[in-house]
Amino acid sequence: MLLAIDVGNTNIVFGLFERETLVHQFRIETIRGRTSDEYSVLFYALLGLHRIEPKRIAAAIVASVVPPLTEPMVALVKTSFHLDAKVVSPEMETGMPVLYENPHEVGADRIVNAIAAYDRVKAGCIVVDFGTATTFDCVSPKGEYLGGTISPGIQISADALFARASKLPRVELAKPAHVVGRNTVHSMQSGIVYGYVGLVDGLVERLSAELNFPVEVIATGGLAKLIAPLTRTVAHVDDELTLRGLYLIHQRITA
């Protein structure tokens, strides 16, 4: 089995691949103060819950956008499974040229997503990742990473509204029945959800016009299933995109 670890600002996702099939994935909260031992206990508990023998894990790869947790994840793999984890970095030969001005500034998750998206459509594409930040990453028809945009995530934006507007309540992020809200909760839901739908469509259309080649638009991330179906530009939703990208990179660097 291959263990793929995606360390994000909000969650850490562990994926287990049996050959090319993602057979299990686990999600835990990202807490920067936790040690590798604490994460090991949590991960072992998840393996036990699903009756997975730890000895079945034969390799590991990590993508992290949280530098203080990169080494703890590597240490988790080393101490728990006696393996040296591969860590996605700008120096790694992923098979995708990165045309950013400074490749070291690109988050590992953005490259991983781009690789998985291009492998899926084999054409120019835009990946919209609804994470802590909402990122839009552009890939050329030749499979080159071109760059993109970074926006505040929908949850961050909503939390700022709840915190700064004292008379507004905290509401569930859900699709309202109508765009025109008839009460405060529905008005807020409409503004947050459809406001973000407008952001996605507006940015995708501007990116597409500037790229000047046909693109497939793929969404991933926690809130993709809420926002993407309401847009006119997103064609696909893939919850497994980042883990799939990690699998592809591991296959390439170990071939």
Report the catalytic residues.
109
Q: At what angle do helices 36-49 and 67-81 cross, to 10 degrees?
A: 60
Please name which of 79, 35, 88 lies closest in space to residue 61, comparing C-alpha atoms: 88
**What size, in residues, is the chain?**
255
Q: CA-CA-CA-CA torsion for 149, 159, 113, 203, nearest 10 degrees?
A: -30
CA distance 208 to 103: 22
Q: Tell me how far apart the 2 most distant CA atoms of the chain are, in Å.
A: 58
CA distance 24 to 5: 12
CA distance 93 to 149: 24
